[in-house]
Amino acid sequence: MGKWKVGTRRSKLALTQTKWVVAKLQEIAPEADFELHEIVTKGDRILDVTLSKVGGKGLFVKEIEQSLYDKETDLAVHSLKDMPAELPEGLVIGAIPKRVDPRDVLLSLDGKTLDELREGALVGTSSLRRSAQILAHRPDIQIESLRGNIDTRIRKLEEGNFDAIILAAAGLERVQYAGNISQYLPVEISLPAVGQGALAIECRADDEETLALLKQLDDEPTRLAVTAERSFLHKLQGGCQVPIGAYATVDEAKQITLTGMVGSPDGKQLFKNTATGTDALALGVQVAEALLAQGAGEVLAQVLRENQE
């Protein structure tokens, strides 16, 4: 019973994630039919420009959302961290499955850790969040832009262009590349991107049948944690291409502990705050306001100005 058209990006990671979700949904609804629709997004086409300079927000999700509106697809699987803090009218996140490892990881040619890298080492990342935190910890390091899918990035490391690169543990584990990881960076050094390690399944807000199906894949502690993180991001008006990080955990009593970070891309300024509460939305706002009170707004405004140049 029931037929669902599932939108996905065409990258190895996106396809792997989508197939994982479809397999889970198939367990929940053994009679249902799922059909994959591959969609090439703007973010996939523009790989030669620094992402923050091409209007980062939602670059990977826009075309996929259009196909939901047009009813060419009924649901779409995204990395939650690629989704803007605010969803377009008429679309909702129907499920957030249990989060996997949220941490950033270092991949180096000879297995060196961040602290073992040579003085002045060249580290590849295009993420302002990662560069801010790496430089705050190791000001001698040189950051170089690194774009492309996981295979491309690892190839560039292996070709000797960098001493090390930074990626998300989650993506590597999903495509079974975790064997390449030299170090899991503690969140105290590199606070992950909002939603990192979590998937989001998006659908139309009025599609009751799909909502009922997706609900069964939702993980409440994950949803609480990422709701707090996304509320923090939203309060700071941040997209995915800003030097903002956040990570929340949830205990058995559903108490949420959220740490938020704003940094300057050169790592010279790093603002952090941690708070605990039960209201995810309020907690996100509280941590954001604490950072704004420390002066984080100035840093974010400066980054926005640089992106517009």
Ligand X SMILES: NCc1[nH]cc(CCC(=O)O)c1CC(=O)O
Rounded least distance, CB 61 to ligand X, Å: 11
Rounded least distance, CB 196 to ligand X, Å: 4
Q: Which one of the listed residues 82, 104, 163, 207 is annotated catalytic? A: 82
Q: Name the residue nearer to ligand X (CB basis): 124 or 171.
A: 171
Piece of 77-85, 176-184, 224-232, 275-283 that binds ligand X (CB under 6 A):
77-85
Q: How far apart are CA 122 and CA 110, in angstroms?
A: 14
- Does residue 82 have an active-site annotation? yes
Which residue has 């891309």 as its token pair?
Answer: 265
For 108, list phi and psi in degrees, rounded to 5: -125, 160
Which of 8, 18, 52, 79 lies at the binding interface for ligand X (CB under 6 A)?
79
Angle made by CA atoms 121, 123, 126, in degrees to the nearest 5: 155
Which of 52, 56, 76, 82 lies at the binding interface for ligand X (CB under 6 A)?
82
Which of 128, 135, 167, 242 lies at the binding interface for ligand X (CB under 6 A)?
167
Q: Name the residue nearer to ligand X (CB basis): 168 or 233.
A: 168
Q: Name the residue nearer to ligand X (CB basis): 82 or 163.
A: 82
Q: Name the residue nearer to ligand X (CB basis): 145 or 255.
A: 145
Which of 168, 228, 246, 256 lies at the binding interface for ligand X (CB under 6 A)?
168
Which DSSP letter does residue 151 get?
H
Residue 210 to residues 40, 90, 91, 92, 138, Cα–Cα distance (Å): 24, 14, 12, 11, 47
Piece of 155-163, 168-176, 242-250, 301-309 that binds ligand X (CB under 6 A):
168-176
CB atoms within 10 A of CB 188: 10
Q: Name the residue nearer to ligand X (CB basis): 79 or 222.
A: 79
Which of 196, 210, 222, 273 lies at the binding interface for ligand X (CB under 6 A)?
196
Which residues between 121 and 150 bind ligand X (CB under 6 A)? none
Long-range contacts of 297-306 (CB under 8 A, 24+ apart): 299/243, 299/262, 299/263, 299/264, 299/269, 299/271, 300/236, 300/237, 300/238, 300/242, 300/243, 300/244, 300/262, 302/264, 303/52, 303/128, 303/242, 303/243, 303/264, 303/265, 304/242
Q: Name the residue nearer to ligand X (CB basis): 44 or 279.
A: 44
* Torsional sign, CA 14, 17, 21, 23: positive
Which of 56, 58, 97, 171 lies at the binding interface for ligand X (CB under 6 A)?
171
Which of 7, 84, 97, 197 lies at the binding interface for ligand X (CB under 6 A)?
197
For 50, list phi and psi in degrees, rounded to 5: -60, 130
SS3 content of the chain, % helix, strand, coil (to 5): 40, 20, 40
Piece of 26-34, 162-170, 202-210, 259-267 that binds ligand X (CB under 6 A):
162-170
Which of 135, 170, 226, 287 lies at the binding interface for ligand X (CB under 6 A)?
170
For 100, list phi and psi in degrees, rounded to 5: -100, -170
Q: How far apart are CA 149 and CA 106, in angstroms?
A: 16
Q: Name the residue nearer to ligand X (CB basis): 134 or 170.
A: 170
Applying CB under 6 A, does 22 fall inside the site for ligand X? Answer: no
Active-site residue set: 82
Enumerate binding residues for ligand X (CB under 6 A). Answer: 79, 81-82, 167-168, 170-171, 196-197
